Structure 1
Amino acid sequence: MTTTKSAQQPTSQQTKGCAHNHAQVHNHADGRNHSQGHSHSHDHSHEHNHGNLPIVLYGIGLILYLVALLFVKNELLENSLFVVTILTAGYHVIVEGISETVSDTLSQKKFVPNVHILMTLAAAGAAAIGDFDEGALLILIFAGAHFLEDYAEGKSKREITKLLKLNPTEARLIQADGATKLVDVSVLKIGDELKVLPGDQIPTDGVILSGGTAVDESSITGESMPKEKTVMDEVFGSTMNGNGTFTMRVTKDSQDTVFAKIVEMVSQAQSNMSKTATKIKQLEPVYVTAVLIIVPIFILAAPFVFGWSWQESIYRGMVLLISASPCALAASAVPATLSGISNLAKRGVLFKGGSYLSNLATIKAVAFDKTGTLTEGKPSVTDTYFVDETKKVDWLNIVVHMEKESNHPLATAMLEAFTETKALHLDVTNEIGKGLVTTFEGKHYRLGKIEADVSLPQVIKERNNAWMEQGKTVVSLTEDAKIVGLIALMDVPNKASAGVIEYLRSQGIQTTMITGDAKVTGEAVAKELNIDKVQANVLPENKSFIISELQKDAGPTVMLGDGINDAPALVQADIGFAMGDGTDIAIDIADAVIMNNDLTKFSYAHRVSKKLAAVVWQNIFFSMFIVVLLVVLNILGKMDIGIGVLAHEGSTLIVILNGLRLLVPLKEN
């Protein structure tokens, strides 16, 4: 039975550290989203807008703690300063612990505590039994560690949102009199004409009307090499102009540009977390509630079970509160997921959410559209044959001059393959059903497909049949009704395809090519690339059915296509990858987009996904090991509050930093 994306890929609003968030956002492949549940959010990035107050109060608390510890000898004054330290340094911990537990509990009509309440109770408990210094130390280390966590985890989010700073703000609008006026990008309308000077940021999407340049499109495609642009070429907002000057016409509103679509994807990526992260966040309130139940039972039972005094039992109970806190567990998935998304975004691979990146590691099948995904997307000359090699150069020169008069895609391929050797003046006519015809030096030439009723010499027949069986298009050149040459063309596999298919096979992932082309053409490409299965003569509306069958037979399936005629299949697949090449349509449809048609970035994304899964499980096992270790040491009497806080917060930072390793580019295999 095939399940839908929304069922397979639970999402949640982005959370961090030991924070809570009870919202779920379902991002659909068509770009729509809707939220469910309670959207109240509180995390350690201080979205409740405390400003700089917590840091200022923390600094005051730290100073008071050091004064009390080093200079004050009066016990009453010393303990008073420790209490003030708890209240100042722990301001945001206490406020969030109490207020947000209350608000979440009321909004959800059930007890929903957070980890801050555990730390607040532990500090209060330590002070209640006279250990004011350790209560103050607990708050200082806990609050200080959280400021560091904020910075560490924020780094992965900042890596992604750096592109927001690339948003163009001004444009040089050409006035009626030809002068230019600097205006805000938001006032531009479709049809406006702009001037772009050397070094300018291109303000919006459009086409070049005059001039030419080289454009750095790395903010859109991730491609570091500048791309040459000339008249009628498309340019994208946020990209950087090189040394040329050009005029352009605006073709899209500012909110519909490719860059705007990318920003939207980034926003979705930061709010759509992985299944593991979602499960952890759902588990956290239950875990904290269990700790709040277990600790009082532990305190009451310890004097009878271990023979401790009541003061020792209460103290050990406070240490247990700290040791069992799920901070490290809560931070196991989110920073790692954001780091992986950031790593890929900088390389032109954009995900609409962490769930898609996380699930990529589990795929069992990949289906490819042929044209433009596995292949170059345009025909290329692959073979030539001429009956007289001594005349080949002259005949090819005639072919070049004949094709100069044509705008057919095959003409472009031939003009790219062959060069003019001598200037000719030909009168070329395009005869429907026959091809191009001309006369030169008294001889009649025709360039087109072989006519069906023509009797062919054996060598021509053999060449033609062999190339046709390979899925190639064959064009013949006739001289006075006699075939003198054959030219074979084909949409050839791009340079990256073979390596990507080989990688997927090494991972045990089944590969299928889906194409609307004839079976012989599809099988020729599939054989060259060593693809497992071919589905040919497929209409766009039937592609989704093939994906559904793959999901039933193999398991989770990815579809890679151009994002337009592959739309039904991209939506049906567990993860739809659009080979965007900068198209906003692809971004709207797919779950992930490769901004230029470089298939190697897909295999790189799969490797990042596998590493993400490994890092998350490392973090989960490590965080739970630390909890168990601290609890056991506490029961054995080998742990105090200070060491417990250091070990606990240290483990949380280690987990976050381990996740941030995914910001580092993976080494080539």
Structure 2
Amino acid sequence: MKEGYVMSNNHEVEVVSTEHGEREHDHGKLPVILFFAGLALFIIAFVLHAGILKNTLFLFSMLLSGYHIIEEGVIDTITATKSKGKFTPNVHILMTLAAIGAMFIGDFQEGALLIVIFAGAHFLEEYAEGKSKREITNLLKMNPTEARLIKSDGTVELVEVASLSIGDQLKVLNGDQIPTDGVLVSGQSTVDESAINGESMPAEKTAGDEVFGSTINGNGSFVMEVTKDSKDTLFAKILQMVNQSQSNMTKTATKIQKIEPIYVKTVLILVPLFILAGYFFLGWDFRESFYRGMVFLTVASPCALAASAVPATLSAVSNLAKRGVLFKGGSYLSNLSDVQGIAFDKTGTLTEGKPKVTDAFFDDNHAAQKDKYIDVIVAMEKTANHPLADAILAHFEATTKLSVSVENELGKGLVGKFEEKTYRIGKPETFTNTPEQVKVLNEQYATEGKTVVYFSVDEEVVGLIAMMDVPNENAKGVIEYLKAQGVHTTMITGDSERTGQAVGKQLGMDEIVGNVLPENKAAIVEEQQEKYGIIAMLGDGVNDAPALVKADIGIAMGDGTDVAIDVADAVLMQNDLTKISYAHKVAKKLDKIVWQNIYFSLAVIILLVVLNIFGRMDLPLGVIAHEGSTILVILNGLRLLLPIKE
């Protein structure tokens, strides 16, 4: 049964099934109350002497304790049968028939015991499965419902978030939940954005900064302007993505769900054949044959098998969500365990996405003027609006604040006048009077994929600055991990082949493809799929969108951008590459646990059936062993909620 979360207008959450048109039953506390009432009747009946009253109490014990079991067995079977146009029974119908069968031959106590134990185990299973969903349910409940709207007369009114329009101004007080996405207009504060990006440290916010709905304001207060409709906020997109993860299970889970009704029908056919075989060929009397048939009906039920994959998958998805890795479904996470190759966009994925100064050189003949030159360079770059200028200003710190007259001359670069001297910062090819040592360094840095600019005084080059979009500090370790796992790594970049090779060699990439236009990245991913098999693609979710869609698993690195969430199968809410290796470990463990559960479930069923044939199994023991195996399978899957060693 596939499930998903639906939000009503008041943000209450209910779980619905998307297969067969069924709805997951939620009767509130009634089934629990009835279960304990039935259990009490069972205990009373157990101590009574044999008689009509004893059997009547066992009957009512079965009806009360098994209320939800019988209802789901009968009603869901009828509903699914009508929906699919063919007989589609479920596990609960097997238990109901087994209990009725036991009572039919006069074993009221064993029939009631079967239902009491099965119902009790069923509650435990629901609780266990709920642990892996509870965190996501809480996430849904975090969706804000009210906002403080600043009206045209300056007064503040509490309104529904759904009624807000783009351009509205809102007041956000200290400790408030930010109602929707927007921009700070005035005020300042710190904001807990962990619900969005998993970052534990609050982010400082001032006028002009973006804020996101459902994040929590700190001690300050501010006025913000609404920039998105409530249904289009980043948090709403995260909820949509999480919702998809609930209805998109692994291939194994989906196969089990499809096989379950076939398996149940097979058991229903085998039970009468088993009874007849016992009576005619094994020498059992009718009562024993029928009793053994009811035991067979119970122990052959695929409860544990049905629980082998779904709880484990939900636990794995929940584990990753807590660490800022959102998967749109278990199928994508499952694919990650079998991935044969991963293609990486370079800029912003394997690298930090912005240049940094890596080397600076000043001619020995001008060493005494170095501090003055740095002051001039800082003064000149402060007038520029360019990533290279930002890198230079981040690297150099002026000792004296100078007032330099600066112009940006086409074909020359920045030209400044100070104390009757002309200073220039520009591309190497625009200079003619260059010392040999500077030329040698330029060639060396260019080979390393670095961007070089010269600095001259009166057209005499006295120094150079080399910059580069440096590798992400975690990239090399992640690439080493993937290669150790036998995963082929490819770097795709629009930069020159020389720059790509320089960065790729630092990281130890298996393959580097340079000079690639954004529209051609998808074709490269397709080539990789033909060559290696299952391919994942990591990119920033904007210009890499076609490649992310083409890949078997598209993973967006986007600091939680809504564009990334829209196009990708998985999103790293922070640009932390280590989460890729963590997700791969979780995926491998998920695959291992699911198959452990399947083999264990089948082994228990076979063992119990064989013991029943040889007369070594009675109904109570069969129920305990059968339900015990189901609970063990559930608990084994829940291990994926625990952090995995990195």
**TM-score for the superposition, normalised by structure 1:** 0.92
Selected match of 1:612 from 580, 590, 610: 590
Residues 1:474 and 2:455 are matched in the alignment: no
C-alpha deviation, 1:389, in angstroms:
2.9
CA distance in 2, matches of 1:655, 1:554: 34
Are the equivalent residues in 2 in contact too, given 1:14–1:334 (CA < 8 A)?
Answer: no
**Aligned AA (1:87):** L
Structure 2: how far apart are the matches of 1:173 and 1:101? 50
Structure 2 residue aligned with 1:377: 353
- Whether 2:31 is the aligned partner of 1:54: answer yes
Report the 3-state secondary structure (helix = DSSP H, G, I; strand = E; otherwise coil) of the residue aligned with 1:204.
coil
- CA–CA distance in structure 2, aligned partners of residues 36 and 139 of structure 1: 25
**1:600 paired residue among 578, 603, 624:** 578
**203, 213, 221: which one pairs with 1:245?**
221
Offset of 1:455 from its aligned partner?
Answer: 4.5
For residues 512-557 of structure 1, what are the alpha-carbon distances to aligned partners after superposition, in whole Å with 9 as ceiling and x for unaligned? 1111111111111101101111111111111111000000000100
Distance in 2 between the 1:357 and 1:235 partners?
30
**Structure 2 residue aligned with 1:326:** 302
The structure-2 alpha-carbon separation of the partners of 1:210 and 1:407, relative to structure 1 and needing over 3 Å to count, comes to farther
Task: For residue 407 of structure 1, give the secondary structure of its aligned residue in structure 2.
Answer: coil
Aligned to 2:2: 13
Paired residues of 1:206 and 1:250 also in contact (CA < 8 A): yes
Structure-1 residue corresponding to 2:42: 65
Alignment of 1:16-27 (within 5 A): none
Residues paired across the two proteins, number: 634
Question: What is the Cα deviation at residue 205 of structure 1?
Answer: 1.0
What residue identity is the alignment partner of 2:464? L
1:40 has 2:18 as partner: no
Which residue of 1 is the match for residue 8 of structure 2? none
1:309 alignment partner AA: D
Match in the other structure for 1:629: 607
After alignment, is 103-112 or 61-70 more displaced? 103-112
Q: CA deviation at 1:511?
A: 0.5
Is the 1:15–1:334 Cα contact (8 Å) retained in structure 2?
A: no
Q: What is residue 121 of structure 2 aligned with on the other side?
A: 145
- Give the match for residue 116 of structure 1: 92
Match of 1:643 among 603, 611, 621: 621
- Which AA in structure 2 matches 1:376? E
Bigger shift: residues 599-608 or 211-220:
211-220
Q: Is 1:427 equivalent to 2:408 in the alignment? A: no
1:566-588 per-residue CA deviation (whole Å, 9 max, x = no partner) reads 11100100010011212101101
Overall identity of the aligned pairs, in %: 62
Judged with a 3 Å threshold, the aligned counterparts in structure 2 of structure 1 residues 112 and 294 are, in CA distance, closer, same or farther, namely same
**Contact kept in structure 2, 1:210 and 1:246, CA below 8 Å:** yes
Counterpart CA distance in 1 for 2:4 and 2:273 is: 31
Q: What corresponds to 1:32 in structure 2?
A: none
| 1:332, distance to aligned residue in structure 2 (A) | 0.3
Tell me by how many angstroms 1:305 deviates.
3.2
Deviations 1:191-214 (A, max 9, x none): 122232332222211122233332
* Partners of 1:516 and 1:246 in 2: CA distance: 41
Aligned equivalents of 1:223, 1:460: Cα separation in 2 = 44
TM-fit CA distance, 1:563: 0.7
- Local SS of the residue matching 2:383: coil
Amino acid at match of 1:327: C
What's the counterpart of residue 6 of structure 1?
A: none
Q: Does the 8 Å contact 1:14/1:273 carry over to 2?
A: no
2:199 corresponds in structure 1 to: 223
Task: Name 2:488's counterpart in structure 1.
Answer: 510
Alpha-carbon shift at residue 377 of structure 1 (Å): 0.6
Q: CA deviation at 1:288?
A: 0.7
Residue 159 of structure 1 is matched in structure 2 by 135
Q: Aligned pair 1:538/2:516, yes or no?
A: yes
- Is the 1:94–1:120 contact (alpha carbons within 8 Å) kept by the matching residues of 2? yes
Q: Match for 1:275 among 251, 266, 270? A: 251
1:187 aligns with 2:163: yes
Give the aligned partner of residue 27 of structure 1: none
**Inter-partner Cα distance in structure 2 for 1:261 and 1:310:** 61
Pairwise CA RMSD of aligned residues?
Answer: 1.8
Say whether residues 1:94 and 2:70 are aligned partners. yes
| C-alpha separation in 1, matches of 2:3 and 2:464 | 61
Q: How far is the alpha carbon of 1:451 from its aligned partner?
A: 3.3
Gaps of 5+ in 2: 6-15
Whole-Å Cα distance in 1 between the matches of residues 534 and 473 of structure 2? Answer: 27
Matched, 1:205 2:186: no
**Distance in 1 between residues matched to 2:185 and 2:468, nearest whole Å:** 33
Retained in 2: the 8 A contact 1:383–1:487? Answer: yes
In structure 2, what is the Cα distance between the partners aligned to 1:172 and 1:430?
Answer: 47
Query: Post-superposition shift, 1:239?
Result: 1.2
CA contact (8 A) 1:302 1:308 kept: yes
**Aligned equivalents of 2:231, 2:468: Cα separation in 1:** 39
Aligned mates of 2:149, 2:82 — CA distance in 1: 54
* Shift in alpha-carbon separation, 1:352–1:293, aligned structure 2, 3 A: same
Q: Flag structure 1 segments of 5+ consecutive residues without an equivalent.
A: 1-11, 17-34
Matched residue SS, 2:639: helix
TM-score (norm 2): 0.95
Q: 1:422 is matched by which residue type in structure 2?
A: T
Q: Tell me the alpha carbon deviations over residues 17-72 of structure 1, each in whole angstroms, 9 at most, x when there is no partner.
A: xxxxxxxxxxxxxxxxxx999641254xx1xx5443322322221111111112x2
After TM superposition, give the deviation of residue 126 of structure 1 in Å. 0.7
- Give me the whole-angstrom Cα distance separating, in 1, the residues matched to 2:348 and 2:263: 50
Preserved CA contact (<8 Å) 2:170 2:224: yes
Contact 2:317 2:327 in 1 (8 A): yes
* 2:376 is the counterpart of 1:398: yes
- Report the equivalent of 2:289: 313
Q: Is 1:519–2:519 an aligned residue pair? A: no
CA contact (8 A) 1:161 1:266 kept: no
**Closer, same or farther: CA 371–519 of 1 in aligned 2, 3 Å:** same
**How many angstroms apart in 2 are the aligned matches of 1:211 and 1:499?**
41
Kept after mapping to 1: 8 A contact 2:197/2:574? yes
Cα deviation per residue 1:427-485 (whole Å; 9 max; x = unaligned)? Answer: 22121221111112221101121234624221011011111111111111110110111
Q: 1:426 to 1:472 in 2, by over 3 A?
A: same
Larger CA deviation: 337-346 vs 56-65: 56-65
